Amino acid sequence: MRVVGIESSCDETGVAIYDTERGLLAHRLYSQVKLHADYGGVVPELASRDHVRKTLSLLDQALADAELTRTDIDAVAYTMGPGLVGALLVGSCIGRSLAFGLGVPALGVHHMEGHLLAPMLEDDAPEFPFIALLVSGGHTQLVEVRGIGSYQLLGESIDDAAGEAFDKTAKLMGLEYPGGPRLAALAAEGRAGQYRFPRPMTDRPGLDFSFSGLKTFAANTIADSDKSQQALADIAFAFQEAVIDTLVIKARRAIEQTGLKRLVVAGGVSANIALREQLTEFMQRVGGKVYFPRPEFCTDNGAMIAFAGAQRLVAGERQDLAVITKPRWPLAELSALDRGLASGA
């Protein structure tokens, strides 16, 4: 089955084609970074309009890359939620209409399930069961994964997600949008031990996260500094160190609590080099293994939606003609699949 995946939940338009026999055939991604840079963040209406402009052209480019035409499409998967409602409507309308016009099945996909399964696109894919640490601009979650759709939420952020904290702190430092990657780059110039940030909610039991206080702590630290480039780099280092330490501590607790030895890390923040290094070192130390998607599949992309959609489409799931979006959609609402992965070579 050749499945087109359409991702439009926020500020990136992604289209990909996944073949359940041959694997990922093509993927295209358009980022709206330049569009939103002047505003210092995503403007939902502008994001929606840009998805309208870009989605079909990206589809044609992906089909050309795969040496296919629209008549070769067997099914369409699109992001139904969570995300920005206007952006989701664009992808859902295009995806459902495309499937109707071609006479093929369609399916709305959970955005975070796409991230969770993204490492399955790699040659060294994890086997079930595993712990998933999902870290993005909108979500920070620890999930016990027993199979596709068999998810138990172990902990999540009660306020800002890790990626959101990165972006907000970067903005406080005057860094350009998107702030998270720029803060990480600045942290690489920082010196250890110059500042000490708290590790929120690590002094009590549990697997929930809280990052909003770190933003306030950063704001006060920046205000009290001389705001030189070196001072900001040192603050960025301490902030990033605190976030990463917190994520590692909570991941360790989840591993100890479940006894599982496989850790999947996905979402935009999973591209952070320092986070990858520390989680890799930790899992090696406990005799386990950590799995990441390639950097291009850490951020939002169509490949993860095509792959996740293919798993459920092969199992017989379908969407009716109604266009539905779910801006808020808990992972726990997804149904579990009884079958194994439909993975291409």
Q: Is 167 among the annotated ligand-binding positions?
A: yes
Q: Is 110 among the annotated ligand-binding positions?
A: no
The CA distance from 87 to 94, in Å, is 11
**Phi then psi dihedrals of residue 15, to 5 deg:** -135, 135
Q: Is 272 among the annotated ligand-binding positions?
A: yes
CA dihedral 19, 22, 23, 26 (to 10 degrees): -70
- HSE (CB half, 13 Å, CA atoms) of 156? 14
Q: Is 111 among the annotated ligand-binding positions?
A: yes
Q: Is 139 among the annotated ligand-binding positions?
A: no
**Phi then psi dihedrals of residue 16, to 5 deg:** -145, 160
The CA distance from 11 to 41, in Å, is 10
Q: Which residue type does 110 have? A: H
Q: Is 52 among the annotated ligand-binding positions?
A: no
Q: Is 180 among the annotated ligand-binding positions?
A: yes
What residues have CB less than 8 Å from 186, skipping those under 6 apart?
A: 173, 175, 232, 233, 236
Residues in a beta bridge with 223? none
The CA distance from 305 to 266, in Å, is 14
Q: Is 137 among the annotated ligand-binding positions?
A: yes
Q: Is 134 among the annotated ligand-binding positions?
A: yes
Binding residues for Fe cation: 111, 115, 300
Binding residues: 111, 115, 134-138, 167, 180, 272, 300
Binding residues for substrate: 134-138, 167, 180, 272
